[in-house]
């Protein structure tokens, strides 16, 4: 199982590198989505990394985890971005980088015997470490693709 997690961590790093390359090509105020610019997207991704860190650390300790995403994903996303609205781009970028470091650390600290087990997902239902990592990889890949499309056609709506 550890090899599978290591492979997923490698995929996460590759996907993050792709996203970072795209972020470097874009201007900070580029509207990625109708109501989100580049900074909002960075804040959004930070929120998901922080949520995963919280879930993994709770699971590693005692397995209990309160459902954090109570009012749906859209509400969580909005609250996560709004909580960072007043931050500078630099502060947001630092939090984005730090959250990923903490996420990778939290994954590596999960006891091997717990890696394949299901635990309560912070958005409801059950998940595994593997399923959460796959979601995060897919999530970032999707956002990277949106940035790439926006860079090719800046006047198109997302």
Per-residue pLDDT of the chain (158 residues; tens, 9 = 90+): 467 899 999 999 999 999 999 999 988 778 888 889 999 999 999 999 999 999 999 998 876 666 678 788 889 999 999 999 999 999 999 999 999 999 999 999 999 899 899 998 888 889 999 999 999 999 999 999 999 999 988 776 65
Predicted local confidence at residue 157, as pLDDT: 60
SS3 percent helix, strand, coil of the chain, rounded to 5, is 65, 5, 30
**Gap between the Cα atoms of 129 and 118, Å rounded:** 8
Predicted local confidence at residue 145, as pLDDT: 95
CATH no. of 2-28+35-152: 1.20.120.450
**Gap between the Cα atoms of 137 and 152, Å rounded:** 23
With a threshold of 0.85, does the pTM exceed it? yes
- Name, in order, each residue with C-beta under 8 angstroms of 50's C-beta and a sequence gap of 6 or more: 99, 102
**Gap between the Cα atoms of 54 and 60, Å rounded:** 10
Q: Contact at 8 Å (CB) between 128 and 118?
A: yes
What are the backbone dihedrals phi and psi of residue 99, each rounded to the nearest 5 degrees, phi first?
-60, -40
Predicted local confidence at residue 18, as pLDDT: 96
**Gap between the Cα atoms of 83 and 44, Å rounded:** 10
> Residue 127: beta bridge partners?
119
What residue ranges do the domains of the chain occupy? 2-28+35-152
57: its two tokens: 């650390």
**Gap between the Cα atoms of 153 and 156, Å rounded:** 6
Predicted local confidence at residue 10, as pLDDT: 95
Predicted local confidence at residue 98, as pLDDT: 98
Quickly tell me which residue has 């960072």 as its tokens.
84
**Gap between the Cα atoms of 81 and 74, Å rounded:** 11
């Amino acid at each position: 199982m550890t090899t599978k997690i290591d492979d997923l961590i490698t995929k996460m790093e590759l996907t993050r590198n792709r996203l970072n390359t795209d972020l470097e090509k874009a201007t900070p105020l580029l509207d990625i989505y109708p109501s989100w610019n580049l900074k909002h997207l960075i804040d959004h991704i930070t929120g998901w990394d922080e949520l995963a860190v919280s879930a993994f650390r709770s699971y590693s300790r005692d397995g209990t985890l309160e459902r954090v995403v109570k009012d749906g994903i859209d509400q969580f996303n909005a609250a996560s971005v709004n909580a960072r609205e007043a931050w500078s781009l630099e502060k947001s970028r630092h939090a984005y980088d730090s959250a990923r470091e903490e996420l990778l650390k939290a994954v590596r600290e999960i006891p091997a015997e717990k890696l394949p087990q299901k635990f309560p997902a912070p958005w409801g239902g059950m998940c595994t470490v593997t399923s959460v990592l796959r979601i995060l990889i897919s999530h970032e890949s999707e956002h990277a693709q949106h940035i790439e499309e926006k860079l090719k056609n800046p006047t198109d709506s997302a």
